[in-house]
Amino acid sequence: MNSPLNRHTNILDFALSSLLRRKSKNLSLLVVYTLIVFVIASLIFFVQALKHEAAQTLAEAPDLVVQRMIAGRHDLIPATYGEQISAIRGVRSVTPRLWGYYYDQVFGANYTLLVPENGVVEPGSIMIGAGVARNQRIKIDDMLTLKTSRNAPLLLTVQGIYPSSSELISSDLIVLSAEDFQEMFHLPPGQFTDLAVTVANPREQVTVATKIAELFPDTRPILKSEMLRTYDSLFEWRGGMMVVILAVAVLSFIIFAWDKATGLSAEERKEIGILKSIGWETSDVLQLKFWEGIVISLTAFLVGVVLAYGHVFFFSAALFEHALKGWSVIYPQFRLIPVVDAYQLTVLFFLTVLPYTAATIIPAWLAATVPPDAAMRS
Amino acid sequence: MIELANVTKTFNADKHNQFTAVDDVSLTIEAGRLTILKGPSGSGKTTLMALIGCMARPSSGRIRLHGISTSFFSDADSGSALDITSLPERFLTEIRRTTFGFIFQQFNLVKGISALENIMLPAYPTGESQAAFRQRALELMELFSVSRHAASPVEWLSGGELQRVAIARALINNPTIIIADEPTAHLDSKLSREFMEMVGTLKARGKTILIASHDPLVYDSELAETVVGMRDGRITGITGAA
Amino acid sequence: MRKSSIFIIVTAVNILLIGLLTVHARYSQAMAATALRERAEMVRTLQLTDLCLFTEARYTRNPAMADRFAPFQDHPGAMEHFPSGSLVTPPSKRIHEFSP
């Protein structure tokens, strides 16, 4: 039976035969194209999953963090600020936070020292993140020696290690008691790193922040929404790595398209002439070119996306690790929760499959309008 | 039967390089016969065949086809001839596909593709199921004894084999009319004789055959029933007309 | 087998794979829900503000708490030279911005 479906599969057959003629060229094209899709899709998966993680976990972050600024620098904040802030209408609680960074010269790592709100640890004991345990090669009940700001050794016993499932937030943490923190850094009395403020009604957060800024012009309130937004701008397109990746992807695509658009050789022209002379319509020729474009670009898209998913969610985005790690000594070992963003994948689909197919069809279109007797006359 | 009435084809009309390739030709080509257009190169044979084969439209005059049927026209329905002169491009393509089989001077086979696929090529856009025309293509390869080359790319084939593949391709859609343009120009005498034998086979199958040639092996062949002499776009003489 | 059938099968398998991966994503999300809740709980009790992604420099550990000019704070002529500085930036809009 004659049917349009037969016509499609027949022409697809010939498109595949036609592509297989230049096997190595088209195969390498497919490989490079797949690689581009793979890198971009990996980035999409990775960033989406990280954003998802940040949005879910940091939703529990303090509503407001109030920092004190002195001469444009983040400085210690007096506890008296907290007392006045807690008097503002709508503020439920104010907790002074004690935290800071510690650089371990022996192991070359930056740790985050943090005092929890309610004494989780006794003086002399600490809870550490899995990254710290890896870095120091210590386990529970081992001793960790830190050097205080007065150059005296401070010996602390590891009371517990946070589970590896929490590494994305806890990897470099050393959670210690306020007494040990004071022993370490000798802060002036009544001074804290910053203040965590809880607001009763989430809709009043901005109002409260404004009031705090008015009350204490030398402070800076940071809203929870701003903390969350920080991870929305992760891999901003203007950012270094994104620009490099996108530029490479776009440039290679332009090279392909250029090759396609200008690469309609005399040979290909002649072939189109032959097809026309043996009874192919212009639309048949265009369909042939359409399939040639689809075979390469759709396969590249699908394979690239599947590989990217495996890369990001089964192999923890191993290829991005070096970029993220930078010069860090502690790098969290984390498994991201898979997130598939259909919208972004659709955009990627249209950005990869459509232009390539168009770049295949358009030059052929110009050649396919030759009169059918051209092949006979030449 | 093909009827041509005062057919003229002018290229580059109204320009300084205006050129009339076919000049006021009236001719009747009988069904089931072998007709040969004979004449030197540039005499308008190829252009005339392109006009008959629905590849180009005449500048003036009429071409009528009798005894053909397509999806949009059936001879049996109307009992009259189909005038192809003023048909839109789409219909011309369909007539070309279903009614005519072409054999070109250069064979016009697609390189890098197997002989079998080359033979099937005209059938692809018809929408026929592949199984059906593949079977037909294999039978044609059998008929012309090139079966063993079915999977080989055409560039591995010899001149004679290419010729056979080209003929097989012309036959894949079961055309009623075969048009061959200087089919023996690139063949030696032995292969040319072989070609004429194959033409005999086609004729025996009831095909209408039209060959343009200036090769004596073709137009002096005993198979030739009507020989139309051409020069400068005009008919100089017809021998053996029915 | 026809080439077109092979292509259609390969494409169908690929699409099926993507479908399976979507199912895998749903399933993993469900499976990870408890761990995610635990992490959120930890963020709440320890009052954390950032993910522990970039430990290479002080100002990259908590980007939400930092300034855009943080890398230049040590000296006006200091250059940002930590790679993570190009990956994530401090919040771009603050209601009362102290940055220059």
- Could you count the other beta carbons within 10 Å of the beta carbon of residue A225? 14
Q: Which residues of C touch A129 (CB under 8 A)?
A: 52
Residue A191, H or E segment: strand A191-192
Chain A residue with minimum CA distance to B127: A7
Q: What does the alpha-carbon distance between residue A325 and residue A124 come to, in Å, rounded to a whole number?
A: 31
What's the gap in Å between the CA of C44 and the closest CA on chain A?
Answer: 5
Whole-angstrom Cα distance, residue B160 to residue B186?
10
**Sequence letter at residue B28:** T
Q: Which domains does chain B have, with CATH numbers?
A: 2-239 (3.40.50.300)
- Per DSSP, the residues of chain B read -EEEEEEEEEESTTSTT-EEEEEEEEEEE-TT-EEEEE--TTSSHHHHHHHHTTSS--SEEEEEE-S-B-SS-BHHHH-S-EE-TT--HHHHHHHHHHHEEEE-TT--PPTTSBHHHHHHGGGGGGT--HHHHHHHHHHHHHHTT-GGGTTSBGGGS-HHHHHHHHHHHHHTT--SEEEEESTTTTS-HHHHHHHHHHHHHHHHTT-EEEEEE--HHHHTSTT--EEEEEETTEEEEEES--
Inform me whether the C-beta atom of residue A76 falls under 8 Å from chain C C-beta atoms: no
Cβ distance B118 to B155 under 8 Å? Answer: no
Cα separation, C63 vs C66, in Å, equals 5
Q: Please check whether residue C78 touches A, CB under 8 A.
A: no
For CA atoms A298, A299, A300, A305, the dihedral sign is positive
pLDDT score for C8: 95
- What is the average pLDDT score of chain A? 87
CB A310 within 8 A of CB C17: no
pLDDT band per the 50, 70, 90 thresholds, residue C73: low
A274 touches chain B (CB under 8 A): yes
Q: Three-state SS for A324?
A: helix
Neighbours of A177 (CB within 10 A): 20
Edge-to-edge strands of the sheet including B226-231? B100-103, B177-181, B208-213, B34-38, B226-231, B234-239
Mean pLDDT of the region A109-132: 90
Question: How many A×C Cβ pairs under 8 Å?
Answer: 238
pLDDT, residue C98, reads: 43
Q: What share of chain A is helix, strand, coil (3-state, %, to 5)?
A: 55, 20, 25
Sign of CA dihedral C84, C86, C92, C96: positive
Residue A4 Cα distances to A256, B73, B124, B172, C2, angstroms: 31, 20, 11, 19, 17
CB under 8 Å to A130, separation ≥6 — which residues? A161, A162, A163, A164, A166, A167, A170, A171, A332, A333
* Residues of chain A neighbouring B102 (CB-CB closer than 8 A): 277-278, 376
Chains in contact with A via at least 3 Cβ–Cβ pairs below 8 Å: B, C
Residue C28's pLDDT is: 93
The answer to whether B46 contacts A13, with C-beta atoms less than 8 Å apart, is: no
Which residues, numbered 113 to 142 in chain B, qualify as contacts with chain A under a Cβ-Cβ cut-off of 8 Å?
113-114, 117, 121-130
> Integer distance in angstroms from the first to the last C-alpha of chain B?
12
Q: What is the mean pLDDT of residues A143-153?
A: 92
Which of C5, C17, C83 comes nearest A306 by C-beta?
A: C17
CB atoms within 10 A of CB A165: 16
List the one residue out of A378, A374, A376, A371 whose CA is nearest residue B179: A376
Give chain A positions within 8 Å (CB) of C88: 230-231, 233-236, 239
More confident residue, A287 or A323: A287
pLDDT digits (tens, 9 = 90+) for A27-73: 988 998 898 889 889 988 988 898 889 999 999 999 999 999 888 78
Q: What is the mean pLDDT of residues A94-103?
A: 93
Tokens representing residue A336 in the block? 């991201």
Selecting from A9, A10, A376 the residue whose C-beta is nearest the C-beta of B55 gives A376
Q: A17-21, A242-246, C3-7: which range is least confident on average?
A: A242-246
Q: Between chains, do C25 and A340 touch, taking CB under 8 Å as contact?
A: yes
The 10s digit of each residue's pLDDT in A216-228 is 999 989 999 888 8
Q: What is the mean pLDDT of chain C?
A: 82
Per-residue confidence band for A303, with pLDDT thresholds at 50, 70 and 90:
very high
- How many Å lie between the alpha carbon of C40 and the closest alpha carbon of chain A? 4
C-alpha dist (Å) from residue B153 to A27, A277, A342, B171:
20, 20, 44, 20
B11 inside 8 A of chain A by CB: no
CA distance B227 to B238: 6
Interchain CB distance below 8 Å, A4 and B46: no
> Three-state SS for C96?
coil
3-state SS class at A91:
strand
Segment among A261-270, A316-325, B124-133, B220-229 with least mean pLDDT: A261-270
How far is the alpha carbon of B108 from chain A, nearest alpha carbon, in Å?
Answer: 6
Residue A248: what pLDDT? 77
Spell out the domain ranges in chain A.
4-57+234-377, 94-192
Phi, psi at B115, each rounded to 5°: -60, -40
Tokens of B148: 């063993």
Measuring CA to CA, which residue among C60, C65, C71, C91 is closest to residue A326? C60
Q: Which residues pair with B231 in a beta bridge?
A: B234
Chain A residues within an 8 Å CB radius of C25: 313, 338-340
**φ, ψ of residue B9 in degrees (nearest 5):** -130, 120
**How far is A120 from A133, CA to CA, in rounded Å?**
19
What is the b/e burial string over A115-140, where b = at least 16 CB atoms within 10 angstroms of the residue's CB?
Answer: bbbeebbeeebbbbbbbbbbbbeeee
Interface test with B, best of A11, A376, A377, A378 (most B CBs within 10 A): A376
| Record: contact B56-A371, CB cut-off 8 A | yes
CA angle B168, B170, B172 (to 5 degrees): 70
A66, A77 Cβ separation under 8 angstroms = yes
- B127 and A13: CB-CB below 8 Å? no
CB atoms within 10 A of CB C74: 10
- What whole-number distance in Å separates Cα of residue A171 and Cα of residue A166? 7
Q: Is it the case that residue A343 has pLDDT exceeding 70?
A: yes
Inter-chain CB proximity C65 and A20 less than 8 Å: no
Q: Which CATH number is A94-192 given?
A: 2.40.40.20
Integer-rounded Cα Rg, in Å, for chain A is 31
Contact status of A323 with chain C (Cβ, < 8 Å): yes
pLDDT in tens, chain B (242 residues): 888 989 999 888 888 888 888 989 999 988 888 999 998 888 888 899 989 988 888 999 999 888 776 666 665 555 567 888 878 888 888 888 888 999 988 888 998 999 999 999 999 998 889 999 999 999 999 988 899 999 999 999 988 899 899 999 999 999 999 999 988 888 889 989 989 999 998 899 889 999 999 888 888 888 888 999 999 989 998 887 65
**Is the CB of residue B108 less than 8 Å away from at least one CB of chain A?**
yes
* Burial of B217: CB neighbours in 10 Å, binned 0-12, 13-18, 19+: middle
Give me the count of residues in chain C: 100
Q: Which of residues 358-377 of A touch B (CB under 8 A)?
A: 371-373, 375-377
Residue A351: both structure tokens together: 């950005």
Burial classification of residue A232, based on how many CB atoms lie within 10 Å of its CB (0-12 exposed, 13-18 middle, 19 or more buried)? middle
Question: Which residue is closest to A286 within chain B, CA to CA?
Answer: B125
Looking at CA atoms only, how far is residue A26 from chain B in angstroms?
14
The b/e string for B78-113 (b: 16+ C-beta within 10 A; e otherwise) is: eeebbebbebeeebbbbbbbbbbbbbbbbbbbbebb
B147 contacts chain A (CB < 8 A): no
- Place C99 in a pLDDT band, splitting at 50, 70 and 90: very low
Interface of C with A in 22-51 (CB under 8 A): 22, 24-25, 28-29, 32, 35-36, 38-51
Indicate the length of chain B as a whole number: 242
Q: Which residues of C touch A222 (CB under 8 A)?
A: 49, 64-65, 91, 94
